[in-house]
Amino acid sequence: MSRTVIDLDDEALAEAARLLGTTTKKETVNAALREIADRRRRAAAVERMRRMVAEGEIDLSLIEEPAHPSPAGPGENPDESSPGLGHHAA
């Protein structure tokens, strides 16, 4: 870990500490640095995914859930009515 002397904006530091739930200047600065690095890394990953979707490398229809799935009612198991899953006609 390196040691650096810097001037900090006290108001920004106090707000960051409140938002991050930190109690010391060191904790706040380190948490803020990790937070921004994580956010930028996630944003870059989302952008790569968007590009892959746009280029057809990812087919969202294979992973999207229906907008209004029809849930099974109480006591109903959707697999019981599927043919070939052990449900025998009487």
DSSP 3-state of 84 = coil
Instruction: Look over the chain and give the mean of its residue pLDDT values, rounded to a whole number.
Output: 84
Highest-scoring range by mean pLDDT, 56-65, 66-75, 80-89: 56-65
Note the pTM of the prediction, 2 decimals: 0.61
Q: Which residues contact 27 (CB under 8 A, 6 or more apart)?
A: 17, 20
Contact 50, 58 (CB under 8 A): no
> For residues 28 and 22, is the Cβ–Cβ distance under 8 A?
yes
Tens-place pLDDT, residues 7-47? 999 999 999 999 999 999 999 999 999 999 999 999 999 99
Encoded tokens for 51: 């590009």
User: Could you give the CA distance from residue 58 to residue 52 in angstroms, rounded to a whole number?
Assistant: 6
